[in-house]
Structure 1
Amino acid sequence: MTQTPIIANVYRSHPHGPVSGKIALDYDGRFLRRKTLTTDDGLSLLVDLAKTTSLDHGGVLVLEDGRQVEIIAAPENLLHVTGDNLPRLAWHIGNRHTPCQIEPDRLLIQRDHVIHDMLVQIGATVHEVVEPFTPEGGAYGHGRTHGHSH
């Protein structure tokens, strides 16, 4: 017998009380409005948000019965970028509107052979890794960036 999904139609950037489950999603999977998902313990959810939302690692979906399901950034295929001039490398990545996780001693981006080759050509050291990906949000404090229509 198929389980009827429980509806989750509220998203919060952090839990308000204990969480009752977790769901691991990659970066692309954390950008949604309406989708059926399954928690790590097998609970079926119908996420039905009012608008397309970028779910953050550590945020929660609130179920219709009040329980909260925590969002976890799942490991995914990334490029680990280092170099002598990290701000310059970050600028080139940003100039291509590529999501980027910025840390003091490295940058993480999704695997892309064109960006990989460009970074190596301008002096970066690039390695493939599998890790959770939590890139910077938009320039105005939240969300994702898309194109030049800020």
Structure 2
Amino acid sequence: MIVEKVIGNVESIQNKPKHTERVFLESDALRKRIQRVKTDHGNEIGIRLKENKDLMDGDILYMDEKNMIVVQTIDDDILTITPTSVGQMGNIAHQLGNRHLPAQFEGDEMLVQYDYLVEELLAEQGIPFRREKRKVKQAFRHIGHSHE
């Protein structure tokens, strides 16, 4: 089977089929438009997305009345940063931006992929953080630009 488009996301559908197969992907694989994957039931699937859009946790690759195949992300090794003030947030955002480190935000938390140098920086700056395994809904993406 070759999947060329995402049908929807499990969070937005009401009538879910009884049987669900899952494709487990690391967050980096969510950015790949072409890949070969295997479901948790051993079925091989080719993904060749026509749209230039990242996959997301919960995306439905296939669905009929009885079955569906859903993307499920694997927990990432991340640093969850919880600044206690706007000053701390501005400081760490500036420093991480200078390193071109992609970040995501969930509520008041800033999420970055684990990096021992960032861990040391946070500890030196006294900015609250914790290292954890956590599922992210979308891939960490670098924003391209150049210094001119």
- Structure 2 length normalisation: TM-score? 0.72
CA contact (8 A) 1:100 1:135 kept: no
- What SS is found at the alignment partner of 2:76? strand
Query: Does structure 1 residue 133 correspond to structure 2 residue 136?
Result: yes
> How far 1:36 sits from its partner (Å)?
0.8
Moved more, 91-100 or 101-110: 91-100
Secondary structure (helix, strand or coil) at the match of 2:122 reads helix
Q: Distance in 2 between matches of 1:51 and 1:40?
A: 25
1:120 aligns with 2:123: yes
Residue 144 of structure 2 is aligned with which of 127, 134, 147? 147
1:37 is displaced (CA, Å) by 0.3
Hey, which of these two has a bigger chunk of helix by percent?
Answer: 2
Structure 1 residues 12 and 78 mapped into 2: Cα distance closer, same or farther (>3 Å)?
same
Structure index of larger Rg: 2
Percent identity for Structure 1 against Structure 2: 23
Which residue in 2 is equivalent to 1:141? none
- Number of residue pairs aligned between Structure 1 and Structure 2: 137
The structure-2 alpha-carbon separation of the partners of 1:90 and 1:60, relative to structure 1 and needing over 3 Å to count, comes to: farther
Structure 2 match to 1:77: 77
Change (3 A) 1:47 1:136: closer
Q: Does 1:32 align with 2:32?
A: yes
Is 1:9 equivalent to 2:4 in the alignment? yes
Q: Secondary structure at the match of 1:77?
A: strand
Opposite residue 120 of structure 2, the aligned amino acid is: D
Compute the TM-score of the two structures, normalised by the length of structure 1: 0.71
Deviates more, 1:83-92 or 1:104-113: 83-92
Q: Gapped runs of 5+ residues in structure 1?
A: 1-5, 138-143
**Larger relative contact order (Cα-Cα within 8 Å, sequence gap ≥ 6):** 2
**Residues 101 and 112, structure 2, Cα contact 8 Å, conserved in 1:** yes
